[in-house]
């Protein structure tokens, strides 16, 4: 009954979406506002309908209706409640329902704004949003139905179908197979939703961009309307990447945070183009430049969002993050191709109308440096795209799938990332329109001197790697410039208004949240870069088999194996748990408990490291192997990860800066507060 109800809500929502597309197009062609309003109402109706479908599926997951194929594949009675609920996005079909639900929520939220000034955009925003939503709903209904059930036909065959076959009976498995052990982690609560929120949010600025192209609006109105949406999308995608890195560090057991996995890269690529877009739109707003480029960037970002979803769900690439092989791959590829070609055709049609209103007159002006920044981001994106597609290309031409590993990405992108860090510090010091080496030199010499002192400190600490020293100097330079800019602004306010330093800092950021929020983001990036340098350039490791009482040393650390216990848990695991004493320079630091969990329902293991964390470093210990009798010993792998926690701290600062930049001012809030009745009835 619940399965039929949920499927019915999906089916009605699909029909409503198609109606909304038709009504919006008819309304704009006939200049009939009533039809556009009807399409708007259809858009608003999709969210409650999808909410009913999603709630129905969550109920089936929580209640353990294993006769439903999706429930059987991703849950079991041994799983805790929070995992049974979050299993909604733990499998192919459920994740598509969740994606659609979020998409309808964001699109419906856009429809609640006042459209009086931008009435010509409204029908086309509805069309683009609903076309995307209808595509995903079509996949859910016709290809990956999450409500399909197990049936036994009259002749004894087992089938999976939404509806009861003639003479068939419903099969009721006693238990499910359970979620993949890698997904049984608290990160499951937040990491996938953050990525999905980032993905679907980028549909909104894309919809406005296409509306601007269709209506012939060549000004920057569509950018101003979607600035907040773009920042929100970028924030969620950033959160997803940061939390995903932490999750990987906790459960994948290789001692790192980022493995250049194809699906990781698929989520990273729209972040790269979206970051370039966020920087580039400022130039259009300030100088009237890069109109065409900004449209190209948002089209690429939208296409990469769909492409990333395609890579995760098609099964064309091997990844610990990807779902199994699926028939939806060709449909995704067709949708990506069609939407990209239509978008580019619209752009080419309006090409001559999108001429820049100004010109770049200085190679060192802020707009020129922002352009170089954009090119560096896109260079990294090209490297990532080539690395992801190369296995497919090699298989197409040679019959063998040849993959590229982390060394390729690190060597190709390292100089580009270094250039971005350098520009993060220099670009804010340059002026709009015109800047010279002399003016930049006057602005940068004091922070550069402070960065030089940091470099000398790194040399004194024993750092001899040329690449590491260059990177340390660039990071220190950017951080010092950013802090220097804050200091100059605070000092100016204090002289002018007599405010104390904290008040001056608060009001300084409040008056220009976009600028100073960006500075906080830059500080977060520098902190993250310190953590990345620490683990990428100075990580060390060792491995050894120990008997109880024996010690394994790594640098200044020593771990002594005390005991190992193996036992079953109430949630369906067999746990092998070691106890290790940890000391540094002979001084005891406590104990670590690395373990290996084996899940009976899915018949898969998961390695949980024992981690001793400090501001300076992490000691990261894995239980690799052990003998059935603990007294015979166990094998451990030990990593020393210097400065890794600066990566997570920098991520928090990064997110704080994004909140500051995205938080609306009082004036903007006043504009948004339009009575709902006015938003509906305006002429």
Report in angstroms the alpha-carbon separations of 148 from 144, 329, 393. 9, 20, 36
* Residue whose structure tokens are 């049984």: 184
Work out the average pLDDT over 86-93.
89
Mean pLDDT of the chain: 89
Q: What pLDDT shows up at residue 163?
A: 85
Q: Which residue intervals of 64-91 are DSSP H helices?
A: 69-74, 81-86
| Ranges 7-11, 49-53, 182-186, 538-542: which has the least confidence | 182-186
What are 464-491's pLDDT values in tens digits? 889 999 999 999 999 999 999 888 888 8
**Rounded distance between C-alpha atoms, residue 227 and residue 231, angstroms:** 6
Residue 340: DSSP 8-state: H
Q: Which residues pair with 551 in a beta bridge?
A: 560
Instruction: Confirm if 473 and 452 have CB atoms less than 8 A apart.
Output: yes
| Beta strand 634-642 pairing with 573-584 | unpaired
Q: Is residue 165 pLDDT above 50, yes or no?
A: yes
Question: b or e along 543-557 (b: 16 or more beta carbons within 10 Å of the residue's beta carbon)?
Answer: ebbbebeeebebeeb
Q: Is residue 528 pLDDT above 90, yes or no?
A: yes
**Rounded distance between C-alpha atoms, residue 101 and residue 484, angstroms:** 45
Which of 664 and 33 is assigned the larger pLDDT? 33
**Rounded distance between C-alpha atoms, residue 453 and residue 448, angstroms:** 9
Q: What pLDDT shows up at residue 394?
A: 85
Q: Which residue intervals of 31-64 are DSSP H helices?
A: 33-63
Q: What pLDDT shows up at residue 679?
A: 41
Q: What pLDDT shows up at residue 420?
A: 95
Q: What pLDDT shows up at residue 677?
A: 43
Q: What pLDDT shows up at residue 313?
A: 66
What are 297-337's pLDDT values in tens digits? 999 999 999 988 887 765 555 554 444 455 787 888 899 99
**Rounded distance between C-alpha atoms, residue 460 and residue 201, angstroms:** 47
Work out the average pLDDT over 333-351.
94
Residue 58: how many CB atoms within 10 A of its CB? 19
Q: Per mean pLDDT, which of 18-32, 157-171, 380-394 is the most reliable?
A: 18-32
What are 229-252's pLDDT values in tens digits? 999 999 999 999 999 898 889 887
Q: What angle do CA 94, 95, 100 make, to 5 degrees?
A: 100
Work out the average pLDDT over 91-97.
91
Structure tokens at 653: 């600062």
Q: Is residue 166 pLDDT above 90, yes or no?
A: no
Q: Is residue 406 pLDDT above 80, yes or no?
A: yes
End-to-end Cα, the chain, rounded Å: 44
Instruction: Confirm if 274 and 233 have CB atoms less than 8 A apart.
Output: yes
**Rounded distance between C-alpha atoms, residue 507 and residue 493, angstroms:** 9
What are 126-144's pLDDT values in tens digits? 999 999 999 999 999 999 9
User: Would you place residue 162 in the very low, low, confident or very high pLDDT band (cuts 50, 70, 90)?
Assistant: confident
User: Would you place residue 642 in the very low, low, confident or very high pLDDT band (cuts 50, 70, 90)?
Assistant: very high
CB-facing half-sphere around the CA of 181: CA atoms within 13 A: 22
Q: What pLDDT shows up at residue 358?
A: 76
Residue 80 CA, distance from chain mean position: 26
What are 651-661's pLDDT values in tens digits? 999 999 998 88
Report in angstroms the alpha-carbon separations of 672 from 665, 666, 669, 676, 683. 11, 10, 5, 11, 18
* Residue whose structure tokens are 């499998």: 91
Q: Is residue 259 pLDDT above 80, yes or no?
A: yes
Q: Is residue 28 pLDDT above 70, yes or no?
A: yes
Work out the average pLDDT over 445-467.
92
pTM greater than the 0.85 cutoff = yes
Q: What pLDDT shows up at residue 105?
A: 96
| Ranges 70-84, 356-370, 580-594: which has the least confidence | 356-370
User: Would you place residue 683 in the very low, low, confident or very high pLDDT band (cuts 50, 70, 90)?
Assistant: very low
What is the DSSP code string of 88-141?
GGSSHHHHHHHHHHHHHHHHHHHHTS--STTTTTHHHHHHHHHHHHHHHHHHHH
Q: Which residues touch 513 (CB under 8 Å, ≥6 apart)?
A: 660, 661, 663, 665
């Amino acid at each position: 009954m619940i399965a039929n109800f949920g499927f019915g809500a999906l089916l009605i929502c699909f029909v409503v979406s198609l109606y909304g597309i038709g009504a919006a197009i008819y309304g704009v062609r006939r200049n009939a506002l009533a039809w556009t309003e009807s399409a708007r109402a259809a858009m608003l109706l999709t969210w409650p309908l999808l909410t009913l479908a999603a709630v129905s599926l969550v109920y089936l997951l929580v209640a353990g209706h294993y006769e439903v194929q999706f429930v059987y594949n991703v849950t079991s009675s041994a799983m805790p409640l929070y995992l049974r609920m979050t299993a909604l996005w733990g499998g192919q079909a459920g994740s598509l329902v969740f994606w659609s639900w979020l998409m309808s929520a964001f699109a419906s939220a856009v429809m609640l704004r006042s459209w009086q000034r931008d009435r010509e955009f409204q029908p086309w925003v509805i069309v683009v949003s609903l076309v995307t939503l209808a595509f995903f709903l079509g996949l859910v209904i016709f290809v990956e139905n999450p409500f399909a059930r197990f049936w036994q036909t009259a002749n004894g065959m087992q089938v999976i179908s939404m509806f009861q076959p003639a003479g068939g009976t419903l099969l009721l498995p006693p238990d499910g197979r359970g979620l993949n052990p890698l997904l049984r982690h608290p990160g499951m609560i937040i990491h996938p939703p953050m990525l999905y929120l980032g993905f679907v949010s980028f549909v909104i600025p894309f919809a406005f961009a296409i509306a601007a192209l269709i209506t012939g609006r060549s000004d920057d109105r569509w950018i101003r309307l979607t600035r907040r949406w773009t920042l929100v999308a970028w924030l969620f995608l950033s959160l997803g990447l940061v939390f995903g890195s932490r999750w990987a560090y906790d459960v994948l057991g290789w001692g790192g945070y980022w493995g250049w996995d194809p699906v990781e890269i698929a989520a990273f690529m729209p972040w790269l183009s979206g970051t370039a877009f966020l920087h580039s739109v400022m130039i259009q707003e300030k100088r009237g430049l890069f109109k065409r480029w900004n449209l190209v960037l948002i089209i690429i970002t939208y296409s990469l969002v769909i492409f990333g979803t395609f890579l995760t769900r098609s099964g064309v690439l091997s990844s610990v993050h990807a779902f199994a092989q699926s028939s939806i791959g060709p449909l995704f590829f067709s949708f990506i191709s069609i939407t990209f070609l239509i978008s580019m055709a619209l752009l080419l049609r309006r090409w001559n109308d999108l001429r820049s209103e100004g010109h770049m007159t200085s190679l060192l002006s802020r707009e020129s440096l922002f352009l170089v920044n954009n090119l560096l981001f896109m260079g990294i994106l090209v490297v990532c795209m080539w690395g992801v597609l190369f296995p497919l290309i090699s298989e197409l031409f040679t019959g063998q799938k040849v993959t590229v590993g982390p060394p390729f990405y690190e060597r190709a992108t390292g100089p580009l990332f270094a250039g971005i860090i350098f520009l993060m510090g220099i670009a804010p010091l340059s002026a709009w329109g015109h800047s010279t080496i002399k003016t930049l030199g006057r602005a940068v010499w004091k922070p550069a001197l402070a960065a030089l002192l940091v470099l000398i400190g790194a040399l004194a600490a024993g750092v001899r790697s040329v690449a590491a020293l260059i990177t340390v100097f660039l990071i220190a330079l950017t951080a010092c410039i950013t802090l220097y800019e804050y200091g100059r602004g605070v000092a100016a306010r204090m002289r002018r208004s007599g405010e104390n330093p904290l008040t001056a800092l608060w009001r300084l950021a409040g008056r220009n949240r976009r600028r100073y929020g960006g500075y906080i983001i830059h500080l977060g990036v520098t902190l993250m870069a310190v953590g990345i340098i620490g683990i990428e350039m100075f990580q060390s490791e060792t491995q050894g088999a120990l008997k109880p009482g024996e010690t394994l040393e790594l640098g200044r650390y020593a771990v002594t194996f005390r005991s190992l216990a193996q036992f079953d848990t109430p949630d369906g695991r067999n746990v092998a748990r070691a106890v290790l004493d940890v000391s540094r320079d002979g001084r005891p630091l406590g104990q670590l408990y690395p373990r290996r969990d084996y899940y009976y329902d899915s018949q898969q293991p998961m390695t949980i490291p024992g981690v001793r964390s400090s501001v300076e470093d992490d000691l990261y210990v894995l239980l690799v192997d052990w003998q059935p009798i603990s007294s015979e010993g166990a094998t451990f792998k030990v990593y020393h990860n210097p400065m890794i926690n600066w990566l997570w701290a920098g991520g928090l600062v990064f997110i704080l800066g994004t909140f500051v930049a995205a938080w609306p001012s009082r004036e903007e809030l006043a504009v948004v507060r339009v009575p709902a009745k006015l938003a509906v009835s305006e002429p």
